[in-house]
Structure formats: C-alpha cells, structure tokens
Amino acid sequence: MESIPGEHKGNRNKKSIITMKSAKPALIVFLLLLGFISLKAQVILSSGSKIETPPEYYLKVKQFGEFIDRFNYTSDWKGQLITEEFSQRVPRAEYLKFLINAEDSRLNNPADSSYRLLCNRFIDFTIATENPQKISLYQGQVKAWVKARIVFTGKEHLVDIEMIPEVLPDRSAKWSINKVVTDCFSSVTDSMTTHFIAPNSHETGFINLNKLNGTSNPAYFLSKGLATDPTLLFVTELAENRLKVKTIEHLVYFITFPGYEITVEEFNRDFSNSGWIISNIMAVTE
C-alpha cells in the first residue's frame, strides 16, 4: 500500500480544435519548432562515444501515473513540473491533444465528424477556466479492468477483474478487487444439487450444519446468488489453492468526469503518440 500523493495545480488553458489534419500530429516537429526542449539528450559512455535518447522516449507516456500527471498538466514530457515558460509554449489544450490516440479512424473519417467534435468538447470542458478538470486516483473517479489468464481445475481460463483504488482509515491507499467476471465456475451449480442442507433441517434445529466441517467447498451451501457469484468463488478457490493467476493479458482504465468517461489503454508502437493514452471518449448521462 502507498500513501496518497499530493496534487499539483495546473496552469493556463487555451482552446484547441482537433481537425482531420491535426488528428495525426507531427509532435516531434511541433516540439522542435517550439525550441523548448532538446529531445536528443546525450549519454557519454566510458569509451567516450555517445548515445542519443530518441525523441519517442520522452514523448511516449510510459506509465499510467505519467498519464495522470500530463492530463492534470502538472508535469512536462521529461517528468518535470510544468513551468510558466512551458505553459506559454504548450497550452494545456495542445498538451491534451497528444494524449488522444491519433491513429483512431474516427478522427480521420471524412463522412462523420461526430467523434472529432466530441473530443473537442471534452478538451474545452477539461480546460474550462471556471472549473478545470483533474484526475484524482483516490476519489472514486478511476477503475481498472484487468484481463487475467488463470489455471482452474487443470485448464486455462480468462477472467475479467475490476480493480478500484481505496483509501484506508490511516490515509494509506491500496488497489482492491471489486468484481470478477468469468464463466469458469459453472460446475458449482451442478454441485449444489448434491451438496446441500436438507429442506426439513429446521425440524432438527439445523443440527446438520456440521456437514460444513471438512467440506471441499463451503460455497456449495450458500444461497444460489452467493454460491454462483464469480467474485466470491474466485477468492474461495484462491484460498483453497485450486486456482492460480498465471498472466495478465490486458489492462484498461476507465476514468469518469461529469458528463464524460474516457478509456485509457497502452499502445506499444514506435512513434511519439504511444504508451498510455486515451483510446475512447464517451459522453455519459449523469
């Protein structure tokens, strides 16, 4: 568990419009024209030769926490606090544009401009002077969905696990499993027909509850709603060492704002618009 990090205040806000031409921004050229940072940082090796850090290293959003800092306009491409000089050269609206997946076909569809307009509205909403929007990891705004590969009863299965950040009474924080979605526990329903407490057990004061002692899976004796709940069964099978988490196959973050929800995924590719960036923006009804 980690302590809750503090939040920094952002800077200036200016409107920016996403058009078909700007949907795939030449970000490196843009930065070089700004003359703000030297993208080709050099490292001197012991042999005296030099290696240059490629521009994509700085521009790629390498971690989800880095995405939050850039979205909140608290850190620049090098992870340093945004200065007045940076905000003058790169307004927050422009900065946000580079956090949207520029390869999304909806941004370049000449027959339908609805997604481009939605992106522009979201950016304007985010940078609004009277109420600029920020992402707060520990206030119920963020959730993650993990697709994991597990081994259960000797077979591999895929499960979707919803993770949410929680704050503990001592102000420390952690990620917690909130929900598990899978169909790999269907055999439990069949077992409930052979493992049960008899319908006339009330006549004997439920003395036969001692059947729970030594049972292979106490979940069989729960109500149908609980006994077939994938989240409960997931942790039960883990506890009994009958289930193993093998690998993480995919990870998606969902972040909510008043009237909007954005999806953040990792795009591994060899150019600037990559890493943890926005794969979808959706208008939602509150």
Structure confidence by residue, pLDDT tens digits, 148-191: 999 998 999 999 999 999 998 998 999 999 999 998 887 655 55
Q: What is the pLDDT of residue 19?
A: 66
Q: In this structure, which amino acid lies at residue 137?
A: L
- Token look-up 């290293």 returns 57
CB atoms within 10 A of CB 258: 9
Computed over every residue of the chain, the mean pLDDT equals: 82
Q: What is the pLDDT of residue 39?
A: 42
> Is the predicted pLDDT of residue 11 greater than 50, yes or no?
no
Q: What is the pLDDT of residue 116?
A: 94
Burial class (CB in 10 A: 0-12, 13-18, 19+), 108: middle
Contact 69, 82 (CB under 8 A): no
What is the C-alpha separation between 269 and 27, in angstroms, rounded? Answer: 15
Give the Cα-Cα-Cα angle 23, 29, 31 (nearest 5 degrees): 95
Confidence band of 41 (pLDDT split at 50, 70, 90): very low
Task: Please tell me whether the overall predicted TM-score, pTM, comes out greater than 0.85 for this model.
Answer: no
Contact 224, 192 (CB under 8 A): yes
What is the C-alpha separation between 145 and 156, in angstroms, rounded? Answer: 19
What is the C-alpha separation between 72 and 92, in angstroms, rounded? Answer: 9
Q: Could you tell me where the beta strands, DSSP code E, fall in the chain?
A: 2-3, 42-44, 50-52, 142-152, 155-167, 172-181, 243-257, 260-267, 275-283
Q: Is the dihedral of CA 215, 217, 218, 222 positive or negative?
A: negative
Report how far apart, in Å, the C-alpha atoms of 74 and of each of 20, 250, 282 are.
28, 28, 24
Structure confidence by residue, pLDDT tens digits, 191-208: 555 667 787 887 788 887
Q: What is the pLDDT of residue 24?
A: 52
Structure confidence by residue, pLDDT tens digits, 230-259: 998 899 889 888 899 999 999 999 999 999
Q: What is the pLDDT of residue 271?
A: 83
* 143: CB partners within 8 A, 6+ apart: 162, 163, 164, 178, 253, 254
